[in-house]
Amino acid sequence: MTAGRTATVFGAYGHTGRFVVAELAERGFVPVLSGRDADRLAAMARETGWEARPASVEDRASLDRALAGTAAVINCAGPFAATAGPLVEAALDAGIPYLDVAAEIEANADTFTRFAGRAREAGAVVVPAMAFFGGFGDLLATATMGDWAAADEAHVAYGLSGWHPTAGTRSSGAVSRERRGGRRLRHAKGRPEYREDAPPVLEWDFPEPLGRRAVIGEFTMADVVTIPSHLAVPDVCTYMTVEAARDVAAPDTPAPTAVDERGRSDQTFVVDVVVRSGGAERRAVARGRDIYAVTAPLVVEALDRVLTGRTRTTGVASAGEIFDAPDFLRALSAHIAVELRA
C-alpha cells in the first residue's frame, strides 16, 4: 500500500461512496473501505479487491484503525450530523485531511463552528460540503466574483431534470428538518433566518435547454454556509426547479437507477449562478449529469489538490476559499461544462 495515495472512504458502500471509491481508483489512489456495516464492506471488498476496515462513529478506536496509515479520509456517510464530528476529531488526531460530501446545512455549519480554531492552529485541512451541493456552488460563485472583493447578492439556481433521492439524502433531510423544528431557512442580510411561511414559487430564466422554469425560491442548500464563509456577500439565495423539489419531497419517489456502465442515472442538471454588485451582474452556467455521480470527481479532485499542496489556506475551509476556483472548474471539464459570463 502506498501511504501517500491511500484514502479511507467512510460510507464506501453507499450510493455516493461507490462513485467516490471508483473515482479514487481511476485517479490512481488506493481506497480503504470503511463504514459501520461489516457485511456490506466485506461484500464490496470481494467485489473490488480493496481493503475493508469496519468502523463506527460510536467506537473511537475503530475509527482510529480505519484511518491508520492513510493519507486522508473522505466521509460519505450521512446523516452527517452524526458522522462528521467524530470523523473530524479522528482525522485531526491522526494528522490527516478530512473531506466530506455533506449537503446538511446544519452539519456543515457545525463543522465550521466547532473545529475552525483547532484545525487552524494545527495547520490541518478540513473541507466540508465538497460535493454538488455546497462545494460546487461555492466554486461557481467564487469564480463568478472574479476580482470583486464584495457583492450585494448571490443566487444559485438548480435546474434538475428530476431528483430521485438516495436513502442517505432522505435520512439527512429528515435530520435537518428535525433540527430546524420544521421551519425553513434562508440567508439574508449576512445571517441565517428561520421562517414559518411557505417558500415563494418564482420563475427563473435558465439557459437552454431548460429555458424559463418554475422554481422554489429559498430552497435553501449548503451554499448558504459555504459561500458566506469566505465571500463578502450578505444575501445568498438558492432555488430548485419545482419538479425536482416535488420528487425529493415525495415519499414514493424511487432511488436513482443506473443507465450506463458507470452507474450513472439519466438525471441532468443546469446550475445557473448570478452575482450582483451595484448595477453590475456576473454569471456562471454549469451543465452535467447525475448530481451523485458528479460529486465523486469533485471530492477526489479536491483530495488530490490537498495532498499535492495546491491549497490557499488551512483550517476549516470551503472549496472556493481553499482552492483556485477557476482552475478547479477547468479540471472538471471531462465531467461538467462550465461557462463564465460577464
Q: Which domains does the chain have, with CATH numbers?
A: 3-131+296-322 (3.40.50.720), 135-290+332-341 (3.30.360)
DSSP 8-class letter at 59: B
The predicted-structure confidence for 307-328, as pLDDT tens digits, reads as follows 999 999 999 999 999 999 999 9
Confidence of residue 130 (pLDDT cuts 50, 70, 90): very high
Report CA torsion sign: 331, 141, 171, 100: positive
Report CA torsion sign: 126, 157, 264, 338: negative
Is 224's pLDDT higher than 80?
yes
The contacts of residue 92 (CB under 8 Å, 6+ apart) are: 98, 115, 118, 119, 122, 124, 126
Is 253's pLDDT higher than 90?
yes
- For range 155-169, the mean pLDDT: 97
Q: What is the pLDDT of residue 208?
A: 83
C-alpha span between 132 and 78 (Å, rounded): 15
Confidence of residue 3 (pLDDT cuts 50, 70, 90): low
Report CA torsion sign: 21, 136, 191, 206: negative
- Threshold 0.85, pTM exceeds: yes
For 98, half-sphere exposure in the C-beta direction (CA atoms, 13 angstrom radius) is 32
Tell me what the pLDDT averaged over the chain comes to.
Answer: 97
337 SS3 class: strand
Q: What is the pLDDT of residue 1?
A: 45
- What the block records as the C-alpha cell of 48 is 473490488
- For range 250-265, the mean pLDDT: 97
The predicted-structure confidence for 37-71, as pLDDT tens digits, reads as follows 999 999 999 999 999 999 999 999 999 999 999 99
State which amino acid sits at residue 84. Answer: A
- For range 245-252, the mean pLDDT: 97
Could you give the angle at which helices 80-94 and 105-122 cross, rounded to 10 degrees? 10
- For range 214-235, the mean pLDDT: 98
